[in-house]
Chains A and B, each alone.
Chain A
């Protein structure tokens, strides 16, 4: 028994494990060569995943209902983020605007408050607010606590422009501020008239500044033929200014007035349009009196 066991063991020792053939099989060799082919390698490593991904996604999205579902869930997600309390605008604060302007601005807000700040196009709203004549510029931002802060700089009326339609208030740049029903409501503002006068408000203001010494006599400025100014004084007097160097002409008139009290005399027109030849027109009564003085003959 024992010897048999020993013999078995020896037999087992002698039988070596079958050595594997180191050579690749024909198939393995061919696959290996195929895998080492550059184009094939590229196709498998790049092309195949790409085609798979595209076809999977495409196949999933080919169904209309699925596409709609995805769009809806995206919209829902967006909605839920937008309507979070952190993004809600609850009220609107307007600074620097008078009561009627503020009311007008409140009416312009396209959505009813409270609304999500994502729904508010501040830039468009600002542009719209700046369309209001009385508003020079507006600044909008959303303050902490959900407040839409509107800071408005209003236009300051500098002059009144009388037209056939009525009386308009203009600011220093000539932009309309508001319509005035009654001249007496703003006695502090000078009046200009004439077509195209609103485009030359700056000139008018400069002329008025230059004519400061006779300010209390000035009734207003008239733009003549859209090219030059007339200064209209009380007692139906009128100073005709040239197109160019109007300010110097005014200074000249004032100098004459201060030296000779020219405007205090009985004349109707001081014509400075030709600066080489300033001309005055004497009033009709004074003219007659002057004639009689010269001839020594009275009409009676």
Chain B
């Protein structure tokens, strides 16, 4: 726990160093693709007269390099074959560096797997001197009773969601308030240690320094939910290749995140098995002809599935689009049912607004929003990531929601537990004694 706390703090310092240098890389390690963006930070832009900046304040960075490569060695959003993954990361980073014409040393990464699990934490303290100071905030965060999430799991995100003083709740920033009791709610996201360590090892092997880590469900929520959705309550469903991430936002804080280990690749493998075609062909057929709602027209639309085996009968096969939809729909329904189960478990129906935003590469299946509306609820829309400066047209689609979200995360990270002060009583006394000894020895 303390190790991770320290390493997260180190990452924050690294991020600050990268900001100072002005160049940082964004690495989205997905199951179907690995995307790398190189961001250039120009420093904070000057505010306009009305206190707003252009592009909702996101214009302080520019994308100067972008590259995508087919992912290798990643399954369910986790590193499966280390060397393959390392090579794929190298390919993406090198291409992005070449486009940016600069060297990148710091990288902020996100991944969708490693079975994220959410915990809600609460803690409260008595205030000594009436007014809340920074130390009090640190103390109340330290007072949160951490659940036993088991060995082999680590904290990825720890957002203070809400502060309350006495009986006034919903405070964003309690500093300076007067009261007797300060209590805090914190959202904790844990992940599998081994999965993240594998990823970190792959990135280290590419001579890159980690300046931050994020869950892709969280960052795609950042990029594809608009501001009022984040404020009023919404769920972002990032349908990726190997896993489907779910994050629920309210009051601009993530309060829940989880993932389903099913994604677009499973649809592809269903098609491959059902039509007996290679995976590449199945992927092509899915993206060109795929859908989830069959109409009468689709009975007559015949798709050449072809083959290259030399048997005329097999090479000239055709299926109707209805058949294809018949293969795809049950799997997509299964994914959405799983998401529905997660939403129910999270108590999503208690939120004041129940907007659902579908994003990610697999959300581009035609008709998905109608199907999702039947399973998840009426307020469903398809989300595309925010526009950021310099992003190539090819990287503006829904498949890049988490990549863009990670850029936003890099530019404006939310305050996490490790961004606050360390409570005074936690400073080990030994280090002070060592400092005194050092002075005695050297002076």
> Residues of A at under 8 Å CB distance from B?
21-24, 26, 29-30, 32-33, 36-38
Contact = CB atoms under 8 A, between A and B. Distances in A.
Interface string B49-91: 0000000000000000000010000000000000000011011
State which size class the interface on B falls in.
10 to 19
B46 to A, nearest CB: 27
Contact of A21 (B87, B94, B97, B98): B87
B interface: dominant SS: helix
Contacts of B97: 32-33, 36
B78 to A, nearest CB: 20
B102 interface: yes
B301 interface: no
B103 interface: yes
Nearest to A37: B103
Interface string B330-347: 000000000000000000
Contact of A23 (B91, B101, B102, B103): B91
B102 A29 contact: no
A36 B91 contact: no
Contacts of B87: 21, 23
Nearest to A23: B87
Contact of B98 (A30, A32, A37, A38): A32
Among A23, A24, A36, A37, chain B packs the most CB atoms within 10 A around the CB of: A23
Contacts of B206: 29
Nearest to A32: B94
Given A30-B207, A33-B207, A22 B103 contact: no
27 contacts: A21-B87, A22-B69, A23-B87, A23-B88, A23-B90, A23-B91, A24-B90, A24-B91, A24-B94, A26-B90, A29-B90, A29-B93, A29-B94, A29-B206, A29-B207, A30-B207, A32-B94, A32-B97, A32-B98, A33-B97, A33-B103, A33-B207, A36-B98, A36-B101, A36-B103, A37-B103, A38-B102
5 closest residue pairs by CB, A with B: A23-B87, A36-B103, A23-B91, A29-B90, A37-B103
Contacts of A32: 94, 97-98
Nearest to A24: B94
Interface of B: 69, 87-88, 90-91, 93-94, 97-98, 101-103, 206-207
A45 to B, nearest CB: 14
Nearest to B98: A32
Which of A21, A24, A29, A30 neighbours the largest number of chain B CB atoms within 10 Å of its CB? A29
A32 B99 CA distance: 12
Contacts of A23: 87-88, 90-91
Nearest to B310: A10
A37 B105 CA distance: 10
Nearest to A36: B103
A152 to B, nearest CB: 73
Contacts of A26: 90
Contacts of A21: 87
A37 B91 CA distance: 18
A161 B91 CA distance: 105
A214 B334 CA distance: 144
B91 A22 contact: yes
A36 B64 CA distance: 14
B432 to A, nearest CB: 40
B80 to A, nearest CB: 16
A30 B208 CA distance: 11
Contacts of A37: 103
A261 B427 CA distance: 131
A273 B186 CA distance: 122
A40 to B, nearest CB: 9
Contacts of B69: 22
A47 B93 CA distance: 28
